[in-house]
Structure 1
Amino acid sequence: MRERWLGLVLKHPWWVLLSTLLLVVLMSSGISQLYFRGDFRIFFADDNPQLLAFERMQDEFNKTDNILIGIAPAEGSVFNKEVLTLIKQMTDAAWQTPYSIRVDSITNFQHTQADEDDLLVEDLLLNTNQLDAAKIATIRHVALNEITLVNRLIAKDGQLAAINITVQLPELDKNKEVFDTYKFAEQLKADFSARYPQINFHLSGVIAMNYAFAHEAEHDAKTLIPIMFIVIVIMLAALLRSALGALATVIVIVIAITSTLGLAGWAGIFLSTATVNVPTILMTLAVADCVHVIASMQFALGRGDSKKDAISFSMQRNLGPVFITSATTAIGFLTLNFSEVPILADLGNMTAVGVMLACLFSIVTLPALLYVLPIQANKTEEQQDTVMNALASFVIHRKNALFPGMLLIMVGFASLISLNTVNDEAVKYFSTRTEFRQSIDFLDQHLAASMPIDFVINSGQSSGVNQPEFINAIDQFGQWLMQQPEVAHVNSISDTFKRLNQNMHGGDPAYYRVPTAQDEAAQYLLMYEMSLPYGLDLNNQLNVDKSATRITVALKNIGSKEITAFEQHALTYLAEHYPAYSASAASTALIFGHIGERNMASMLQTLPLALVLISLLLVFSMRSWRMGFISLLPNIAPAAIGFGIWGWYSGEVNLGLSIVASLSLGIVVDDTVHFLAKYQYARKEGQNAEQAVRYAFNTVGRALWITTAVLVIGFSVLMLSSFHLNSDMGLLTAIIIFAALVVDFLFLPAFLLKFDTKESKNYA
């Protein structure tokens, strides 16, 4: 069947190429259906419990999607006429932000004071004409002593102020809405920067983060893919010593990528920060199939075979290994369907489909291309064989030292795996080179800007927030929160109640406490709410029937383990001390904190399944339980070495790295399969173990180091990404792939020489 199929391809190469073209055009037409999403919700499934809790909280209270504008004078504090005028003007202008529903700053803070029995509520700075020395001193005193402002909208040293713009997106076109909102804020920043060049402005918040996700993915698509394409073309032309061979490979790469993207479009899959890497990954993986076919053909041409016979020789030797390595790679990527992150599952599915398409084009289209292109014998083959033969001799003569030595090295690196810990911080997804990361790092030095958690506490009855015992519970919880080392700021309705109580008792500090009667608390709250201007009501803290309140806790920049532990600690405190009230927690930081932990757990659970499936496939393809068993250690060792090196190098495993073990398993199998396939072929031909090892090195060794070089450089290109999920994944995968070549060149042949001592005439 193989010979009939190959004969048909070589007899009608132009028909094969025309059929391929029609098929590719049909599949690629789906590219027009692709669209891009960059909001943070793409990281979570619709039934994610933390996302559902977050959405419920968003429905019950005001939205928390926001843009935070940090305002930092180059010198001195914000408490001078010029900067306060700027804050006032920018606060007023910020109301024009698309989809804005609220703007908060120190200038429009609703300052309260009593006039006999009346409660006066007005902006802390109502008119810039008021800004004399006395007014500035008053604003400074109020702002730096108001618990709801310090570390939220004003730094405690007064050197940084912030304007918080809350938006409510209609979510009809999330990408456009995010871009429109952010671009307005960016233009606002540019306008005021031109007017106040001595002031530094910084943008952060959920909208800024969503924009950064989209912007960095778009940037990667525009830069990494062209860089990778150029690198591969140059490497292939140099390593294959054949421009036409490189051209044939590039054609296969291009049609595999366009077909994959087209099928994704037809399937309704959108592009994201993860799936935008599919073309780059496919470039590297498609190269491996083509290089093995072309290298084997060049080997046959170099010994004098005709082009047709050389192609036949190559396909007979590589058809099985190419299919098996593609299938194992696809299995590795398909395990990403068990990921808790939908876009990682999309990455796995798209890459798996692309790998199998590349396999199809490599065994059908590539032979036809090679036949019609005027490729000639490579005159450097003899030199290349000499290098591989020398390496084979080294391994054969040093097998007794290489086997225990390599085993010791593998165990040593594997022992470092314990240094790794799962730690996911959404802010650290971005490189320090990015504007968003620089802004958030600066703001975190002065304000608690990046790690908010919202707690909702429900009294269980309408207007329950007016009950003194409920307010006391909220107040005690707030004080307990401020005692925790992770907490930088707490915004609670109890502080408003205490301030109003003090106001209504002549400003006496002794009355800065919770009202003692429910009707008194209700009256204070009603008077206050009736005095608040439009957009600055208490809907961000109280629900409609006033049965529940939201407490916003700003945390210092901590990792995923710490943030999930803090959540559990706080909820346990509430359950133990105030069991009559129900409580829940939610925020974007909390969702990301949980997803990293759960994703790593799910990936570790599926890794054994992937290993079993790949091992069974190898056993079936090689028709040998012994070869399948022998392949296990060389397939597991590279990932163990890679994660050991990572434990020594960094020790932090983020969302991107949690998939690398499963992802790389299918890739590293390629070297093992090709080496064992050639070794097994030689053994069945009657050669002993030493001769079979030498044959494997001579026939496939060059192709292995070429494909490894391309794969390592290909995944290393991802390191240029400013998005750490991509750059870290690229670096660790490159380390694992390189480790796989070392293991398959030094450990695997030594292992075979030491333990595969069966007589050649009885070999099966």
Structure 2
Amino acid sequence: MFDRLANLLTRRAPFVALLLLSLTALAAVQATQIQFEFSPQALMRGEDESYQQLQDFKQTFAYEDSVLMIIVEATGDANVLDHRLLNWQAHVAEQLRAVPHVDEVATLATIEIPRRTLEFPPSVTARPFIAEFPADETDSRRLRRLVDESPLLAGTLVSSDLQVAALLAFIDPELQRVRELSVVIDDVQQLLQSSPPPTGYRTSLSGLPFIRTDTIKNLQQDQQRLLPIAAILYLLTLAIIFRRVSGSLLPLLAVGMGLAWTIGAVVAVGATFNLVSNVLPILLIVVGVSNCVHVLDEYAEQLPLARGDRIAAARNTVRHMSRSCLLTLFTTAVGFACLGTAQSDVLREFGWQAALGMGFMYVTIIGGLGSLMQYFRPPRRSTRGAPLGHVTAAAGRVIDRHPRITLTFSGLLIAASVWLGLHVPVDSFMIETYDDDHPTLQTLRLVDNKLSGLLPIEVRLHADDPERLLDPDVFRKVRQFEEHALQEDGVLFARSYADVLQSISTGTPSPTAADDELPVSDEELTRDIRLGVWVVNRVGATLGYPNFMTEDGRDGRILIKVQDIGTLRLKKLINQLEAELLQAFPPGSGVTPTLTGDAYLNTIAMNAVIHDLFYSLLTASLIIFATIALIFRSLRTGLIAAIPNLTPLALTLGYMRLRGYDMNVGNVIVFTISLGIAVDDSIHFLFRFREEMKRTGCVEEAVVRTFEGTGRAIVITSILIVAGLAVLLFSDFVPTRRFAELTSVTMMGALIGVLLLLPACLVLFWKRPPTS
């Protein structure tokens, strides 16, 4: 089969090259339409019960993740209750309501409160607190008294020190795609540019819709800026190393074709890039360039053997390398295909996209290089006297003579890394994309410190009886739960249906759990509750009561806002809240509590995704090593290949501990790449070693000769990948820089595994041929 393939590619080279380039042009046009989607909740999208519970909860109550916040900060002597700013808020609120897909607007200037009428029978209506605009200083003083009497306002629409105010725009929850949200946010930004606040104030945007779109926008700009630079750096590095057009342009052409095919296929099936699969281009470039270097290095070696006949050299190269490249890319594809067993749709999508990309890479590398190599002089190879060839050959001889020392040293290094890695905490943050001085993160910190925060943990209380949630005993337990929650580390805010009802009896809009105590007697509390129900039946929509209680009275809501303190601490907080809820509402109490919310789901999702990735890596490792054993028809070979392939994972894990990095989704993705790199290098080394064993029949000599050939290509590949990744260190995104750093460490780990451990294991454990 491989002989026929080699003959086809060399004899029909112009036709094959034209076909590949034509398909690439079509794919490239399709690839330009790729979309990026960022949503932490997407990590659990699928059949998972937690995700479905959250969606049901949002449909029943409110979509907190659809609230766009316009933050106004006082920079002068006046506070945010100044009548000038109130007039500006009223003006902006009116314009916001005209923005398409903005369903509702809430501001301090346009707040409405319930007022009882003097007519008989008595009634109640909701009226604006500031009846007419423009507002004056009297309105400012009246509003100041209202804020002082209603602590809840000091934390939602205004800060307690009156230096920050928030305008809330509730976007249509049906708008979930980043492209659609971006249109709305662009309209709001243009509105703010055309209607700036008075002197002494500045505005900024926040809220989960803005953070999602801002992250994707900056990520796209980052890739558009850095990937071309990385390609140029690859080109220059290849040109310096190989000193031939074939060694510099052909690898980038072959890898570029495979990348275009993959992205075009992703677009064709309606898929997108997300916070996991955005590393796919880098992954394909790393694996693709690695295989291209091995192919071109073999071509340079075959040309002298073919006495300068480029066609024959290209044919022999394809015949030799199509086998090893097929195995390397197949095993890597199998490893990523194992992600198909993950719970998360995001991981499953990444798995098939990466596996498909490996298949396309094989076609474009073997097909592209196989058909085009004969038209170019091969890259120059270093001889034994040249620096790189000399170093690799010398390293092979040292390991050849001292395999036990090499194995002992490598084993101690791996053991130390594993010991360090066991202490790496599994922790991640919802907003870990930016540096501390980034404006988006600074605004988020401002919202956390001055207002009620962004990230919600929700509690759904389901009652067996419609009147159960209004029972005084349940009412008190709900308030007590809020009070206890506010004392927990990281909790910023708490509100429930009980707060809304109590606010009516006190005559102020929605006090919090920290306000006046509830009446002591059940009779007084029941009277206040009935009064609250009577009012909300008439003006409940104005007070936001439908967002906290269903119409049939069977489901109530408790909203808790938390800081982005990491999934490790949030998990402890969730466990504490669950214990308190179970104590307050045990089975048989008539009330069933359920925790949900974006912060809750993110905590559950991140831990599940990380465990999914680890189990998938374990499964992939077993399948890969079993495949190697089958290909080489030797269980011993599979076991020998296992140790060096796991080395970069162990070393990277130990490095993470030394650097103080947590185990999050972005960091775990590095392990998938490390496995792919190590497997590729190991297979190329083993294939070359087997060929040298057939020629020499001596393990020691075969190892040295493999070092002189494939060992050099592995070193070149590592230099190329680290050079390309160095560009990513200039990214504006923390995960991208960390990805580049950890992947570079992985490359060093792969070198130790393949060029130290693997040859030492071969010398010690390879089955030697019988001596005569």
Aligned to 1:753: 763
> Which residue matches 1:70?
71
Q: Tell me, yes or no, if the aligned pair for 1:427 and 1:450 is still in contact at 8 Å.
A: no
Contact 2:41 2:605 in 1 (8 A): no
Q: Which residue of 1 aligns with 2:432?
A: 428
Question: Residue 452 of structure 1 aligns to a residue in which SS?
Answer: strand
Cα distance in 2 for residues equivalent to 1:27 and 1:218: 19
The CA deviation at 1:72 is 0.9
Alignment of 1:488 with 2:489, yes or no, is no
Task: Write out aligned runs for 1:595-610 (5 A).
Answer: 595-610=605-620
**Per-residue Cα deviation, 1:330-378 (whole angstroms, up to 9, x for no partner):** 1222223233432333223222212222212322331220112355755
Structure 1 residue 178 displacement after superposition: 0.8
Aligned to 1:526: 534
Pick the aligned partner of 2:357 from 336, 354, 358.
Answer: 354
SS of the equivalent of 2:69 reads strand
**What corresponds to 1:392 in structure 2?**
396
CA contact (8 A) 1:600 1:655 kept: yes
Task: Give 1:690's aligned residue.
Answer: 700
- Uncovered stretches (5+) of structure 2, i.e. residues with no partner: none
Give the conservation status (yes or no) of the 8 Å contact 2:339–2:613: yes
Ranges in structure 1 where 5+ consecutive residues have no aligned partner: none
Aligned twin of 2:17: 17
**Which residue does 1:363 correspond to in 2?**
366
Q: Which amino acid aligns with 1:349?
A: W
Distance 1:613 1:510 in 2: 63
SS of structure 1 residue aligned to 2:274: coil
Instruction: Choose from 281, 284, 287 the match for 1:282.
Output: 284
Q: Which moved more, 1:18-27 or 1:747-756?
A: 18-27
Separation (CA, whole Å) in 2 of partners of 1:339 and 1:435: 35
Structural mapping, 1:678-717, within 5 Å: 678-717=688-727
Counterpart position of 2:681: 671
Aligned to 1:322: 325
- Equivalent AA in structure 2 for residue 131 of structure 1: D
Aligned equivalents of 2:403, 2:227: Cα separation in 1: 42
Question: Would the aligned equivalents of 1:638 and 1:743 in 2 still touch at CA under 8 Å?
Answer: yes
Q: Cα distance, 1:30 vs. partner?
A: 5.3
Deviations 1:367-401 (A, max 9, x none): 22011235575587852433322333343455454
Distance 1:378 1:679 in 2: 19
- Give the direction of change, closer, same or farther, for the CA distance of 1:671–1:97 in structure 2 (3 Å limit): same
Aligned positions of 1:152-231 closer than 5 A: 152-171=156-175, 174-193=177-196, 195-231=197-233
Of residues 284-293 and 268-277 in structure 1, the stretch that sits farther from structure 2 once superposed is 268-277
| 1:513-560 deviations in Å (ceiling 9; x for gaps) | 78736465233333355357x765422222222332222111133211
Counterparts of 1:561 and 1:202, CA distance in 2: 30
Cross-structure match for 1:46: 46
The answer to whether the 8 A contact 2:459-2:559 is kept is: yes
Residue 131, structure 1, aligned to residue 141, structure 2: no
The alpha-carbon distance between structure 1 residues 416 and 40, as it changes in their structure 2 partners (threshold 3 A), is closer
| SS at structure 1 position matched to 2:186 | helix
Residue 148 (structure 1) shift: 2.0
Percent identity between matched residues is: 19
Aligned equivalent of 1:331: 334
Whole-Å separation in 1 of the counterparts to 2:524 and 2:355 = 66
The 10-residue stretch of structure 1 (332-341 or 551-560) with the greater mean CA deviation from structure 2: 332-341
Q: Closer, same or farther in 2 for the Cα pair 1:551/1:123, shift >3 Å?
A: farther
Please list, as runs of the form range in 1=range in 2, the aligned pairs for 1:602-621 lying within 5 A after superposition: 602-621=612-631
Name the CA shift for 1:55/1:350 in 2 (closer, same or farther; >3 Å): same
Match of 1:569 among 555, 558, 576: 576
DSSP-derived class of the 1:422 partner? coil
Q: Which moved more, 1:558-567 or 1:200-209?
A: 558-567
After the TM superposition, which of the residue ranges 136-145 and 51-60 deviates more from structure 2?
136-145
CA deviation digits over 1:216-262, x for unaligned, max 9?
34224422332232222222222222123322222212221222223
Does the alignment pair 1:416 with 2:449?
A: no
Change (3 A) 1:274 1:103: same
- Name 1:292's counterpart in structure 2: 294
Q: Are residues 326 and 716 of structure 1, via their aligned partners in 2, closer, same or farther at CA, if it must alter by over 3 Å?
A: farther
Q: SS where residue 524 of structure 2 aligns?
A: coil
Distance 1:455 1:299, change over 3 A: same
Query: Which residue of structure 2 aligns with residue 259 of structure 1?
Result: 261
- TM-aligned CA distance change 1:509 to 1:593, over 3 Å: closer
* Partner SS for 2:665: coil
Retained in 2: the 8 A contact 1:455–1:583? yes
Q: Provide the C-alpha distance between the structure 1 equivalents of 2:768 and 2:59, rounded to a whole number of angstroms.
A: 74
Structure 2 CA distance for partners of 1:466 and 1:188, relative to 1, 3 Å: farther
The alpha-carbon distance between structure 1 residues 37 and 750, as it changes in their structure 2 partners (threshold 3 A), is closer
For the 8 Å contact 2:41–2:602, the answer to whether it is kept is no
Q: Amino acid of the residue matched to residue 108 of structure 2?
A: I
Deviation at 1:169, TM superposition (A): 3.3
- Pair 614,48 (structure 1): closer, same or farther in 2 beyond 3 Å: same
Give the 3 Å change call, closer, same or farther, for CA 667–220 of structure 1 in structure 2.
same
Amino acid at match of 2:6: L
- For 2:344, which of 310, 322, 341 is the aligned residue? 341
Measure how far apart 1:738 and its partner are. 2.2
Contact 1:453 1:585 in 2 (8 A): yes
Matches within 5 A, 1:503-518: 503=507, 516=524, 518=526
> Secondary structure at 1:685's aligned position in 2?
helix
The alpha-carbon deviation at position 83 of structure 1 amounts to 3.6
The whole-number CA distance in structure 2 between the counterparts of 1:338 and 1:231 is 37
- Other structure's SS at 1:391 match: helix
Check 1:537–1:409 CA distance in 2 against 1; reply closer, same or farther (3 A cut). closer
User: How has the CA–CA distance of structure 1 residues 519 and 717 changed in structure 2, closer, same or farther, with 3 Å as cutoff?
Assistant: same
Following superposition, the deviation at residue 327 of structure 1 comes to 1.3
Q: Distance in 1 between matches of 2:576 and 2:200?
A: 44
Counterpart of 1:320, as a letter, is: R
SS in 2 for 1:272: coil
Which of 597, 621, 626 is the aligned partner of 2:636?
A: 626
Partner of 1:437: 441
Supply the RMSD in Å over aligned alpha carbons. 3.2
Deviation at 1:490, TM superposition (A): 1.0
SS of match in other structure, 1:107: coil
Q: For the Cα contact (< 8 Å) 1:501–1:515, is it kept in 2?
A: no
Deviation at 1:702, TM superposition (A): 1.8
Cα distance in 1, alignment partners of residues 651 and 664 from structure 2 = 18
- CA separation of 1:381 and 1:749: change in aligned 2, threshold 3 A: closer
Structure 1 letter corresponding to 2:663: V
Question: Aligned in 2, Cα 1:481/1:259: closer, same or farther, shift over 3 Å?
Answer: same
SS at match of 1:428: coil
Residues 294 and 47 (structure 1), Cα distance of their counterparts in 2 relative to 1, 3 Å cut? same
Equivalent residues in 2 for 1:441-590, closer than 5 Å = 441-462=445-466, 464-503=468-507, 516=524, 518=526, 521-527=529-535, 530-531=538-539, 537-578=544-585, 579-590=589-600
Name the structure 2 match of 1:652: 662
Matched, 1:405 2:409: yes
Asked if the contact 1:169–1:177 (Cα under 8 Å) also holds between the matched residues in 2, the reply is: no
> Which residue is equivalent to 2:144?
140
Measure, in 1, the Cα distance between the counterparts of 2:478 and 2:185: 35
